[in-house]
Amino acid sequence: MRTAFTEAFGVEHPVVQGGMQWVGTAPLAGAVSAAGGLGLVTALTQPTPEALVREIGRTRDLTDKPFGVNLTILPTIKPVPYDEYRHAIVDAGVTIVETAGANPAPHMEFFREHGVRVIHKCTSVRHAVKAQSVGVDAISIDGFECAGHPGEDDVPGLILIAAARRHVTIPMVASGGFADGRGLVAALALGADGINMGTRFMCTAEAPIHHSVKERIVASDERDTELIFRPLRNTSRVSSNAVSRETVELLASGKAFEDVRHLVDGQRGRSVYESGDVEAGVWSVGQVQGLIHDIPTAGELVERIMAEAHALITGRLATMLEPVGA
């Protein structure tokens, strides 16, 4: 399947693995890229730029196909040495970067000088237009269904993708709510050139998280998420558990961030992935978990998605074009 995205980024299939904190490591990114998609190593999952270089090397040992690095730009309690991470990416020979969070403009001159193609993930049309204007090579447009930060506009993908296509002229992939070939075909129909999946790739054999977390995703449905930090206008979609529900209740009652800091601590959330105790902290997951029913390898998943998409396009949808009575 050839799209503007596959052509621009040199991949076989228009399927991107989301750059997820604690999850986007070499085994997963390498498996996705080896299967013909675009795998992403998450830069800030690695504790130092030097560690990122080693993780990139591990990924390169797993595949000779294109892969990239996610660099999320968000306010943090401990300042991130972004300049060092940028240099690590370039020095390691990576030529594809996904940026997310804040405006990518401060990073664009450096990446452009070193021949790095940039995909910017955003949650609104206005941010997509701004990213396009500063010279990114592709947009990942993230609907309200997504895991993590869906923005504050609450626009679901069915509307957001089509709305963004009216203004975005560069390649665009759709994020939030995608799990199978049906979603890929729908995204293409709405104007996207591919899909970006996070939660679905969490539920694969190579994802570096405890099997109990994957089983929790399979057992959950589309209602089993919480939107935390809404009163703070820093909304994040996470799994519904005792910790996330308490966080929502405290903030809704007028409590401040300091009153929930102990609940939402990042290391506490990381421990969920390591221990498998899905009640130990807050952890990101999207509404798409209602469409996830198994734990395949990343390669099997990509192959299945493409087969489903081809079957839909050449089968059921094609027959709808036949004259009545033909």
Q: Count Cβ atoms within 10 A of the Cβ of residue 299 and give its class: 0-12 exposed, 13-18 middle, 19 or more buried.
A: middle
Instruction: Collapse the DSSP code of 11 into the 3-class scheme (helix H, G, I; strand E, B; otherwise coil) and give the result.
Output: coil
Tell me the C-alpha distance between 129 and 131, whole Å.
5
Q: How far is CA 48 from CA 13, 53, 97, 178, 206, in A?
A: 31, 9, 17, 31, 23
Per-residue model confidence (pLDDT) at position 193: 98
CB 41 within 8 A of CB 59: yes
Per-residue model confidence (pLDDT) at position 321: 86
Per-residue model confidence (pLDDT) at position 205: 98
Instruction: Collapse the DSSP code of 88 into the 3-class scheme (helix H, G, I; strand E, B; otherwise coil) and give the result.
Output: helix
Quick: pLDDT tens for 15-72.
999 999 999 999 999 999 999 999 999 999 999 999 999 999 999 999 999 999 999 9
Q: Ramachandran region of residue 157, left (φ > 0), alpha (ψ -120 to 50) or beta?
A: alpha
* Positive/negative CA dihedral, 215, 217, 223, 229: positive
In a 13 Å sphere around the CA of 114, the CA atoms on its Cβ side amount to: 18
DSSP at 62: H
DSSP at 148: B
Q: Ramachandran region of residue 79, left (φ > 0), alpha (ψ -120 to 50) or beta?
A: beta
Per-residue model confidence (pLDDT) at position 213: 98
Q: Give mean pLDDT in consecutive 10-residue pieces for the chain, a chain of 326 residues.
A: 97 97 97 98 97 98 98 82 96 97 94 98 97 98 96 97 98 98 98 98 98 98 98 96 98 97 94 97 98 98 98 94 70
Assigned token pair, 107: 């990073």
Quick: pLDDT tens for 215-227.
999 999 999 999 9
